[in-house]
Structure 1
């Protein structure tokens, strides 16, 4: 039941950012689904394996793969689906708590929050890069094989 609620929240937040980013109208719902699926993977990994970094990495891989597949199916740029799709994964709370800890002069806590936030951001970017590269490699391999 918790996953359904999380899916709906992530879908709505991704939908909102899709509208803000001026995504084409026929792709708004699809990018919302992409972001929601990435968030569900993040929540599942975080709840079962207690790793926000691994969850963000796997969630970004899912967002990247789905974004690339949808881009090929619907003849749109992959960024139409990937950019709004990673929004739920972005560690906004981590950035906030890092800044709050710095303002409160609690530098050890700021270093802890900041390090985790940087690792999550690196995991998101790595996941998108790996999924995009893997998808293009597979597509090019199929193209060469069919020639």
Structure 2
């Protein structure tokens, strides 16, 4: 039941970001699904390995790969699916708690939370870069084969 609830919440959160970023109307539901699949990947990895950084990396990688595949299939830019799709993975709470710890002069907590938040942000970017590079490599190989 918890997985279904998280799927639904991440779906609507991604749809909200899609509307905010003014993506085409025919892609809103699809981008919501991409974001939900990325979040479910994150949740699965987090439950198996208890690592939010690894979960975020694989969630972002899933969003990137699915976004690139859908972009090719639907003939739209990949950013239409990837940008709203990573919104559920963004470590907003980590940034908030880092700033709160700094304001409350709990510098050790701020360093710990801030470091994990930074690693999560880097994991998102690496996951997207790897999926984008993989897509470009596949396109290059297909072009050479023709």
TM-score scaled to structure 1, two decimals? Answer: 0.97
Q: Distance in 1 between matches of 2:33 and 2:139?
A: 23
Alignment partner, residue 85 of structure 1 = 85
The DSSP-based 3-state class of the residue aligned with 2:71 is helix
Unaligned residue ranges in structure 1 (runs of 5+): none
Q: Distance in 1 between matches of 2:91 and 2:28?
A: 23
Aligned residues: 146
Report 1:1-147 matches (<5 A): 1-145=1-145, 147=146
| Per-residue deviation, 1:129 | 0.3
Q: Distance in 1 between matches of 2:69 and 2:31?
A: 12
| Per-residue deviation, 1:47 | 1.1
TM-score scaled to structure 2, two decimals? Answer: 0.98
| Per-residue deviation, 1:76 | 0.8
| Per-residue deviation, 1:64 | 0.3
Unaligned residue ranges in structure 2 (runs of 5+): none
| Per-residue deviation, 1:139 | 2.3
CA displacement 1:56-88 (0-9 Å, x = unmatched): 000000000011111111111100000000000
Point out 4+ residue stretches in structure 1 off by more than 2 angstroms: none
